[in-house]
Amino acid sequence: MTALYRSGRQADALAAYQRLRGTLDAELGLVPGPALRDLETAILRQDPALDAPLPIAVSLAGPAPSVASAGAAVTVPGPAQLPPPVAAFAGRGAELARLDALRPGPDGDAVIAVIAGTAGVGKTTLAVHWAHRVAAHFPGGQLYVNLRGFDPAGPAAAEGLGQSGATDPGQALRGFLDAFAVPPERIPARLEDQVALYRSLLAGRRVLVLLDNARDAEQVRPLLPAAPGCLTVVTSRSHLTGLVAGLGAHPLHLDLLPPGEARELLARRLGRGRVSREPDAVEEIIAGCARLPLALTITAARAAASPAFPLAAVAADLREAGHVLDPFDVGDAATDVRAAFWSSYWGLSDDAARLFRLLGLHPGPDVTTGAAASLAGITPDRARGLLGELARGYLLAEQRPGRYACHDLLRAYAAEQAQSAEDEAARQAAVSRLLDHYLHLACAAATQIDPFFAPAVPAPATAAAPATPVAPAAPVSSQAAPAAPATTEEALAWFAAERAGLLGAVALAADAGLAGHAWRLAWALSTFLLRRGFWSDHATACQAGLAPPAGRATPPGRPTPCSCWGSATPGPVATPTRCRSCTRRCGGWTRPAATAAPGSWRTARWPGWPSWTSATPTCWPTPSSHSSCPGRPATGAWKS
């Protein structure tokens, strides 16, 4: 039975046992003894103890082995498959401490740690670095496999084969069995039997298993050891929620490097002296790389290759590149930023990929579910599901409930994909829908704050636009009509959360030639900016929203920028038309005479502004900046 089993003939070995049991029963009336029954059980379990002893390696220069030791089993050291660690590893102190806390004791339960994060954030670097630090605690061996779930070469290589390009779990298992010197004829054909043999081999051993670049939980489960004292570290661009929920895996989400750790990375790569001599250039390099470790290491490699070049020149290359991602193209798919992003992007569903591309057109640092729905022209429920898919793939991060963001390099990649995959009409339509969304909410929020100063709330495209001589409504698509703020507090909170996005939306509308959206957004936004004292933002918004497009005249009825923009005192710093009679800078608003209507003027509810009305004022002065303006009311008429 033993000989048959060691020859890879397990079925024949079990058949021999059955023949012997039948013979003993028929001829002697006996049953097999305990030793024979234990041997049958061991064969059924494929017990590693039945394997043939490994031959002793004979050195050509050394003495021959003694007769006494020739048949003895030799203790073979466990496999050591870890890749070499990165020499200039920097930072990640908190993450290393968390991994140290997860290391099991000799008799502790098997532990699973999942390191997840976006492309290029340094998941493999961290896992390999830590694995080398603790390798001595796992004398049974260290196993490693690249599962290629998001391999940069995977999509292109597998496209013609109709495959995903990811490593098959059975292939990974065969590699692990080979590492433990299991003869090929002993490896079963079925995946379930391979898993059983693998876990039997690891029984009684303390083994560290590093599963790199996993695509999903299904790819990982067959490779997990069950023996006490074993530890599995999985890296992935997916959350692998199935492992966390079903097997109690410990998630560790890896984010961009903090600024201090980014500087430390550059110092270790370029030398502390070179980095300390140009602190401003270093800060610009860190910002240009969005604190993404892969981008930082590529930039550091370019700088190290030209030690005579100042770091300011490297920073200038990042700043002046025609495309944001061009400086990180090194011609190597394994270390190319675009290739890393592509390997995450190609695995998205068609709808999620389209939403990701369109998000590259969004002007703000983050986006809400409603804004994403308007941008893509879909329902909020559908947008919520697609945003969840992008977040699970680490192409977005839900930084606050309902608000999603990504770093600058991913945003630049999304914009590139929008330019290449969406035609001009589709991009223009998406931008129009997004601006409709912001204009609808901004006008409604401004009305809640100050109904006399705010522009009219635009109506949906299916309804008739209300006629008003002050701010003609811009049409808004029916899909971009989310619930508006219902109270002043909600309106102020909405403006505070959306301020950066709204400022970007004004510039986006102006660049897109949507003048009506641009000046109405600037007007609505000024209601909040003036109240909170964001003078610089107010001037920026008005300049972008009120300046006419190049080569075009200002349309009748539309405010125009004053040539004396600014204010000599702290206070409102913009005016939409030039003050006809003042030679000093004007701090208020006027309307073109062609559209002025009696009783249509209202002042802002702002300290220092008059609360009077006038049919045809020349300007709305502030007491501090216009002591003798023809539009100034009579003495005593000022109100705070």
Q: Mark whether 442 and 557 lie in a shared domain.
A: yes
Count of structural domains, the chain: 6
Q: How far apart are CA 83 and CA 80, in angstroms?
A: 9
Dist. CA 360–CA 504, nearest whole Å: 13
Range of the domain at 209: 93-253
Instruction: Categorize the per-residue pLDDT at 459 as very low, low, confident or very high, splitting at 50, 70 and 90.
Output: very low
Range with the poorest average pLDDT among 80-94, 285-299, 325-339: 325-339
pLDDT 10s digits, 62-87: 333 343 343 444 445 689 999 999 88
pLDDT tens digits, residue range 517-549?
A: 888 899 888 889 988 888 888 888 888 877 655
Concatenated DSSP letters of 24-78:
IIIII-----HHHHHHHHHHHHT-GGGSPPPPPP--SSSPPPPHHHHTS---PPP
In a domain, 435, yes or no: yes
**Together in a domain, 412 and 433:** no
Closest C-alpha among 527, 519, 491, 529 to residue 605 = 527
Q: Does 88 map to a domain?
A: no
What average pLDDT does the segment 281-285 reach?
95
pTM value is 0.71
Residues 364 and 471 in one domain: no
Average pLDDT, the chain: 78
The answer to whether position 61 is within a domain reads: no
Last residue of a domain, one of 221, 253, 285: 253
CATH number at residue 405: 1.10.10.10
- Whether 123 shows a pLDDT value over 50: the answer reads yes
pLDDT at 396: 93
Taking 70 as the threshold, does the pLDDT of residue 630 lie above it?
no
In a domain, residue 239? The reply is yes
206-256, pLDDT tens digit by residue? 999 999 999 999 999 999 999 999 999 999 999 999 999 999 999 999 999
Specify the higher pLDDT residue, 332 or 42.
42
Examine the domain organization and report whether 494 and 589 are in the same domain.
no
| Domain co-membership, 151 together with 99 | yes
532 and 584 assigned to the same domain:
no
In a domain, 54, yes or no: no
CA–CA separation, 608 and 604 (whole Å): 10
- Among the three residues 189, 219, 253, which one is the final residue of a domain in this structure? 253
Among 229, 253, 277, the domain-final residue is 253
Its sign, for the CA torsion 396, 342, 502, 290, is positive
pLDDT tens digit sequence for 334-347? 778 888 899 889 88
Residues 178 and 233 both lie in one domain = yes
Q: Indicate if 566 and 630 belong to the same structural domain.
A: yes
pLDDT tens for 398-431 read: 988 889 999 989 999 999 999 999 999 999 999 9
Mean pLDDT of the 99-120 span = 91
Task: Please check whether residues 464 and 528 belong to one and the same domain.
Answer: yes
* 4 is a domain residue: yes
Q: Is 232 helix (H, G, I), strand (E, B) or coil?
A: strand
Six token digits for residue 199: 């876990």
Residue 51 lies in a domain: no
Q: Which two tokens stand for residue 137?
A: 């605690």
Length of the chain equals: 640
104 with 236, same domain: the answer is yes
Give the pLDDT confidence of 130-189 residue by residue, as tens digits. 999 999 999 999 999 999 988 765 543 444 333 457 889 999 999 999 999 888 888 888
Tokens 């309804």, residue? 463
Same-domain check for residues 247 and 98: yes
In a domain, 576, yes or no: yes
Predicted local distance difference test score (pLDDT) of residue 540: 87
Tell me, yes or no, whether 158 and 242 share the same domain: yes
